[in-house]
Amino acid sequence: MRGWLTVCYRSNRQFANVIVDISVEKLDKTFQYRIPEELKNRIEPGVQVDIPFGNRTITGYVVEVTGEPEYDVTKIKPVIGIHKGSVPIESQLISLAGWMRKNYGSTMNQALKTVLPVRKSTKQVEKKQIRLKMSEAEARNKLALFEAKHYTARARLLRELLGEHELDYTFVTKQLNISVSTIRGMEEQGILVVETSRHYRNPISHLSQTDRKHPLNESQSRVVETITADIKAGICKTYLLQGVTGSGKTEVYMELIARTLEKNRQAIVLIPEIALTYQTVMRFYNRFGDKVSIMNSRLSPGERYDQFERAKAGDIAIMIGPRSALFTPFSRLGLIIIDEEHENSYKSETAPRYHARDVAVMRAKMNNASVVLGSATPSVDSYYQAMQGNYTLLKMTERVEHKPLPQCEIIDMRQELKRGNRSIFSLRLQELMEDRLSKHQQIMLFLNRRGISGFISCRSCGNVLQCPHCDVSLSQHEGGRMVCHYCGYEEPLPKVCPSCGSPFLGAFKAGTQKIEQMVKKRFPGARVMRMDYDTTRTKDSYEKILKTFANQEADILIGTQMIVKGHDFPNVTLVGVLAADMSLHVPDFHAAERTFQLLTQAVGRAGRGREEGYAVIQTYDPEHFAVQTAKDQDYEAFYRQEIMYRTMLSYPPVWNLLLVQCQGEKEDEVALAAEKMSQFLKMQIAVIEKSVMLVGPADASIAKISDVYRKVIYMKTKEYGTLVALKDKMEHVVKDDGAFSNVSVQYDFNPTSGF
Ligand code: ADP
Ligand code: ZN
Ligand code: ZN
C-alpha cells in the first residue's frame, strides 16, 4: 500500500453521529450520541450500535466520530452498546465511506452517497421498450403493405423494429417522431408489444454462438493457476495483468469468475463506461446467464437501488459496470476485476475524488478478496506499484492463437510538407488505404483529439511553443494571445516560427467531420462512417455505428478515442493514427503516458482476425519516446523513460501530490482565502520535518468557470499520509476561519487529468 496514515484523534472521540435509516434520501439526517468510555476504541464509522430513540431502543450505523457536540452536551444521550449479531454489508460500506472521506477529502455525507444506493422517495419512472411481436417474414409483409398504402409513420417504426427488434419507447416517440396512438394501434394489431422493464433486457433471445467458451491457452492458464493457487493458500493479493491487445484477458477474467462462483463467492467487474458495449456484456451473459447484472450510468437512482437489492438478496453474483459498481453490496465478495485499469474514468471527478483502483484494493482487503487489474498498457501508477512489490505482475505477451501484433510505421509529417503534400493524409497512408479498399478489408482512422484546444506548433519543423518559465506548452487564447496555464505568462502569437521562420504556425484544429469530408473526396467509392461526440449523442447510436461497422456495411470508420475501446473488428487490417502528437503537449504530466496508451491501443485494433494488421502513425514529433515505444508496442521501454522523468520531477507515483482548489464567486475573497491557506500550510510544513514542496496559490488552469473563480495550491511529498494529515488540518481551518465562509475548498489527491 501507499502507506496510508491513519490519524486518530482519540481525545476527540467523544461523540458518534448515527444514521438510523440508510435507505432514505437524507443521509445527512444524523443523530448524535455520547460514546461511553469503555467503547471509545471500538466505535468507528460503519459500526452498528443500539441507541435510545424517543422511548425505544433502536439500531443505527455510526457514520462519524467527532469531538464536536452538536447541541447542549448535557442533553446528549449515550450509546447503549454495539449491536450484537452478524455484521451487515452496510457496515462494511459505511466503513469504506469513512476511509474514503479520510483519504480523499469530502464530507461524510458525500462519501455515504457514493457508496450507498439511495431510494428516491419520488415515484420510479419505468423504462418502456417496444418489441416486435411477429416473425420477420410477417413483419416484412406488413411493411410492404404499409409502404404501399403510404402509412409512413407505421412503416418507419416497423423498419426500425426489423433492424433492432427492440426499441426504447422514448426513442420511438421523440427521435422517430411516432405518435402514441400509432404505437397503440400497432400494438392492437398484434405487430408489436410495449413492455415495461426495470432490469436490463433479457439477453437470452440474442444469444450468439460466436463466443463459445475457449479452452485457455498456456499463458492464460498460467495466470489463472497462479491466482487460484494463491487463493487456495488463503493469500489475497492485487494482481496487475499486463496482456497485449488481443491476448485473451477477458477469457481469463471469466475463468477466475467461474472459480469464484464455485466457492459460493461473488465478483465485481469494472469496465469503462465507453467499453460497456453489447458485445462485451454478451460475452459475460453467454457464460454466466442470469447471475450477471449490468450497471450503467443510464440507470436511474431507483434502478440502481433495485440492482443493489438484487445483489444483496443473492439473486445475482456478478456485477459488471463502471466505477460505481464497486459498491455493489455483495457480502461474500471474492474477486474484483478492473479491466482497462489505466482508464481515466476510474477516477471520480466529484468529491470524494477517489480512484476505483485504490478503493477496490481497500474493499478487497475488508472481504478477503483478490483484485485483478488488467490492461495492455498499465497505468504508470500501477506498474510502479508492481515494481515496488505491492502488486503482483502477471504477463501475457502474445496474442491468442499466435496472431502477430500489427506491424507499425511512423510517418514524419514534416517531411510530407517538405514534399509538398499539405493534405492531412501522408502519401504512404493513402497508398495503404487504396490497397485495403481494393481487397475489401476495413480501415480505422483515429484522430487523437485530446487537448484539441491546446498547443501551437509549427507544421514545418514541429516546434511547439513553450512557456519560457515552465515545462509546458502555451495554449492559444482568443485575440491571438498565447498563455501559460501554470504561471500566467503571456505573449502574442508570432507571425512566423521562432525556430525555423516558417509561416505555417497554428493550433491543430481539424475535426473528425472535416476528415470525413476529406476521406470521401479522396476515396469516392468508399463507405465511410464517423464516430465522435456529435454522432453518438442519441441513445444507442454508439452501438449502432459499431454494429454497422462490425457487419462490414462500411469500409472506413473515422473516430476519436472512442473507437479504440473494447471492440473486436476482425476485418480491420489497417489503422491510421492522425495527429499522434496531439496529446503530447497538453499541460499535464500524464501527457506522454496518455499518448503512449492511446497509440498502443489504436494500433492494437488492427489484425484481430485472420489477416495481419498494419498501423500507420502520423506525427510531427517522430522521435518522441512515447511515439517510438508505441510503434514497437514496447511497454517496458516506455515505462523506463517515463518513470525516470517522474522521479526527476518528483511527480506521482514516485511522490504523492495533493491539489487544493479554492473556489468562490468573488475573486478577491478566493484570492485572500487561498493566500491564507497557503500561509497556514507553510507554517505546518515548517514544523513537520517532512520534505513537502508547495506551489501556489496560482490560478487554476481555467481560472474562472461560469463565474466561479478558482485558485489552486499544490503540494508534493513522498508519503501519502503526510498529505492526508495536512488535509485534515485544512478542514479545521475551513471550518473555523471566516475567510472561507464563501469559499469552498476541494481536495484532489494524485489527480489524473487536467494537471
Ligand atoms: P483482450 O481482452 O486481451 O484484448 P480478448 O479476451 O478480447 O482479448 O480476446 C481476443 C479474442 O480472442 C476474442 O475474440 C476471444 O474470444 C478470443 N480468445 C480468447 N481466448 C482464446 C483462446 N484460448 N483460444 C482461442 N480464442 C481465444
Ligand atoms: Zn509558465
Ligand atoms: Zn518551425
Q: What is the pLDDT of residue 629?
A: 95
**What b/e sequence results for 426-450 when a residue is b if at least 16 CB atoms lie within 10 Å of its CB, and e otherwise?**
beebeebbeebbeeebbbbbbbbbb
Q: What is the pLDDT of residue 239?
A: 98
Question: Cβ of 360: how many Cβ atoms within 10 Å?
Answer: 24
Phi-psi region of 442 (alpha: psi -120 to 50; beta: other; left: phi over 0): beta
Residue 694, classed as helix, strand or coil, is: strand
Question: Cβ of 295: how many Cβ atoms within 10 Å?
Answer: 25
Q: What is the pLDDT of residue 28?
A: 64
Residue ID of nearest Cα to ligand 1 atom 24: 214
Kindly state if the Cβ of 570 falls inside 6 Å of ligand 1.
no
Say how many Å lie between the CA of residue 397 and the centre of ligand 1: 13
Kindly state if the Cβ of 247 falls inside 6 Å of ligand 1.
yes
Q: What is the pLDDT of residue 546?
A: 84
Residues of the chain with pLDDT under 50: 1-10, 121-124, 198-210, 451-453
Residue ID of nearest Cα to ligand 1 atom 17: 248
Distance CA 41, CA 49 (A): 14
Residue 653, classed as helix, strand or coil, is: coil
For CA atoms 181, 182, 187, 190, the dihedral sign is positive
Say how many Å lie between the CA of residue 247 and the centre of ligand 1: 6
Residue ID of nearest Cα to ligand 1 atom 6: 248
Say how many Å lie between the CA of residue 263 and the centre of ligand 2: 56
Residue ID of nearest Cα to ligand 1 atom 20: 248
Distance CA 322, CA 272 (A): 5
Say how many Å lie between the CA of residue 157 and the centre of ligand 3: 56
**Which residue from 214, 242, 245, 254 has its CB within 8 A of the most atoms of ligand 1, so it is best to mutate?**
214
Phi-psi region of 402 (alpha: psi -120 to 50; beta: other; left: phi over 0): left
Kindly state if the Cβ of 44 falls inside 6 Å of ligand 1.
no
Q: Which atom of ligand 1 is nearest to the CA of 216?
A: 23
Residue ID of nearest Cα to ligand 1 atom 15: 248
Distance CA 514, CA 2 (A): 46
Radius of gyration of the chain (CA): 28
Say how many Å lie between the CA of residue 459 and the centre of ligand 3: 7
H or E element: which one contains 747?
A: strand 744-749
Beta strand extents in 587-705 (DSSP E only): 614-619, 656-664, 692-705
Beta-bridged to residue 197, according to DSSP, are: 127
Say how many Å lie between the CA of residue 701 and the centre of ligand 3: 27
Kindly state if the Cβ of 216 falls inside 6 Å of ligand 1.
yes
Kindly state if the Cβ of 282 falls inside 6 Å of ligand 1.
no
Q: What is the DSSP pairing of strand 81-82 with strand 127-132? A: unpaired
Q: What is the DSSP pairing of strand 81-82 with strand 48-53? A: antiparallel
pTM, 2 dp: 0.80
Question: Cβ of 236: how many Cβ atoms within 10 Å?
Answer: 17
Q: Residue 191 is placed in which grid cell?
A: 405487430
Question: Quick check: 99 and 326 in contact, CB under 8 A?
Answer: no
Kindly state if the Cβ of 652 falls inside 6 Å of ligand 1.
no
Kindly state if the Cβ of 221 falls inside 6 Å of ligand 1.
no
Question: Quick check: 384 and 654 in contact, CB under 8 A?
Answer: yes
Write the CB contacts of 207 (distance below 8 Å, at least 6 apart in sequence).
Answer: 282, 285, 286
Say how many Å lie between the CA of residue 130 and the centre of ligand 2: 56
Q: What is the pLDDT of residue 254?
A: 95
Residue ID of nearest Cα to ligand 1 atom 5: 248
Kindly state if the Cβ of 219 falls inside 6 Å of ligand 1.
no
Classify burial at 730, counting beta carbons within 10 Å of its beta carbon; exposed 0-12, middle 13-18, buried 19 or more. Answer: buried
**Which residue from 217, 270, 400 has its CB within 8 A of the most atoms of ligand 1, so it is best to mutate?**
400
